[in-house]
């Protein structure tokens, strides 16, 4: 799943805040949960409109980008 298939940013949805497609859940919420030490299951329980597939794909995508940036330095 490509990042552009996971996230949408539209002025009509939360003023353009990037959200998971098909939801009104900001992508930043997942980042905040993970950084706070919460589990993926806790995030999914609190935001049931986000699928596990969406959340995992976003996490993998972010890790790959971070890894690529590190290897290019």
Q: In this structure, how many other beta carbons lie within 10 angstroms of the beta carbon of residue 27?
A: 22
Helices (H), 1-73: 27-35, 40-46, 52-72
Total tally of structural domains belonging to the chain: 1
What confidence score (pLDDT) does residue 54 get?
94
Tell me the C-alpha distance between 72 and 39, whole Å: 30
pLDDT for 10-64, tens place per residue?
A: 999 999 999 999 999 999 999 999 999 999 999 999 999 999 999 999 988 876 5
Q: Can you give the residue range of the structural domain that contains 37? A: 3-72
CATH number of the domain to which 52 belongs: 1.10.10.10
Identify the pLDDT of residue 14.
94
Give pTM, 2 decimals.
0.80
């Amino acid at each position: 799943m490509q990042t552009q298939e996971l996230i949408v940013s539209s002025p009509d949805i939360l003023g353009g805040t990037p959200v998971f497609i098909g939801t009104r859940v900001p992508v930043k919420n997942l980042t905040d949960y993970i950084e706070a030490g919460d589990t993926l299951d806790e995030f999914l329980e609190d935001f049931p409109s986000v699928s596990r597939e969406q959340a995992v794909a976003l996490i993998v995508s972010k890790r790959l980008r971070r890894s690529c940036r590190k290897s290019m330095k």
